[in-house]
Structure 1
Amino acid sequence: MTRIVADLDRCVGAGQCVLTDPDAFDQSDEDGTVVVLRDTPTDDEARNRAKDAVEICPSQALSLTE
């Protein structure tokens, strides 16, 4: 099963993940860092959006694990 992992120490709060998949990501009100709302993509479309978010993240704070 694919799982989304966020490294909050690397996150710079750019918000590209939220723009890519607002159902899976949000930003902290305190510092703007990523908040993973759904860490397991439910279907192929959600998995593709998660992959896009990982690729577009400017600080490389997101990854996918199996």
Structure 2
Amino acid sequence: MGIKYYPAESKADAVALYRSRPGATIKSVATDLGVSPETLRNWIRAAEGRSSGSPCASATAATAVELVVS
């Protein structure tokens, strides 16, 4: 099975659906949408501005530019 492409709008809609269901689990929403729980979890992390392995929020654009220039 290859990698599937999901448009940004579809990802945003999935994250919004998850957030609109206070008691829902990632697994239940992912099942409803027909995607894997890990896929939905990654979309949620991306929407929060975090990478999957990062324990804190990602650097701002200005900080990132400073790190690249240094």
**TM-score if structure 1 supplies the norm length?**
0.26
Q: Which protein is bigger by CA-based radius of gyration?
A: 2
TM-score (norm 2): 0.26
Higher strand residue share:
1
